[in-house]
Amino acid sequence: MNTHDLKKLIDKSRVSLSRDVKCRNAQTVDKKSNKRTASSTGTRLIQLSENQANVDSSLEGEVEKTVVKRLDAIKNKDEGTVRALMDEHYSKFDDWPPFKRQEAAEALENEFSAFKVLTEYTYELKDFGVNVLGDVAVATFHMHYHGLIRNRPFDVNSRVTSVLRRHDSGWKVIHEHFSRFPDETRQQYMPPRRSMQP
């Protein structure tokens, strides 16, 4: 075996090991869609590209773990973990009122108030992507979440952008932007817009 063949074998082993680590808590793996359902929460569904499946121990993997830890903290109503994962300059655009930029204190107060009336909350992530730019990272994904708030059901599909900054203690969220998908049914049946012609 020459050096080139040995390197290919080592790289192939790393890919296999990385996938095994990524799936170590998996209940199911749908090979056709590459969707994995993790058993740690029983509610996460993350669709990974081939490159993302190989970055578990890399910076992108660290960012993904931080985002999932933050969302799990919401699910578990864990204020301490939520606070620990927020950068001191944290801000947020939410897909729930108020629909304005919320700075750290207001955003966390609103989130922790919701913890008191939130039950049966679960979420799924799809199309997860990460770009690391030095000490800043941008994670983008689709999020489907549902549950009860004040005993009323909700079911939301959002596009999410999460900006993180690397600290000595790890990645922290500096900004989040949640944007609901437009009502697909309404768009499907709306007549096309007419152009104004002179």
Any idea what the CATH number is for the domain that residue 141 is in? 3.10.450.50
Beta-strand relationship, 136-149 and 152-167: antiparallel
- If you average pLDDT over residues 41-50, what whole number do you get? 42
* pTM over the 0.85 mark: no
CB 128 within 8 A of CB 64: yes
Residue 38 is predicted with a pLDDT of: 36
pLDDT for residue 56: 45
With respect to residue 195, please indicate whether it lies within any of the assigned structural domains. no
Q: Is 152 inside a domain boundary?
A: yes
Whether residue 196 is contained in a domain is answered as: no
Residue 194 lies in a domain: no
Q: State the pLDDT at residue 179.
A: 96
**Domain extent at residue 173:** 3-182
pLDDT digits (tens, 9 = 90+) for 63-120: 999 999 999 999 999 999 999 999 999 999 999 999 999 999 999 999 999 999 999 9
Q: What is the pLDDT of residues 107-155, one digit of tens each?
A: 999 999 999 999 999 999 999 999 999 999 999 999 999 999 999 999 9
pLDDT at 194: 53
* Assigned domain for 193 exists: no
Backbone φ, ψ for residue 82 (5° rounding):
-60, -50
In a domain, 150, yes or no: yes
* Beta bridge mates, 29: 36
Mean pLDDT of the chain: 77
Asked whether residue 125 is domain-assigned, the answer is yes
pLDDT of 180 strictly over 90 = yes
In a domain, 188, yes or no: no
Q: How many domains does the chain have?
A: 1
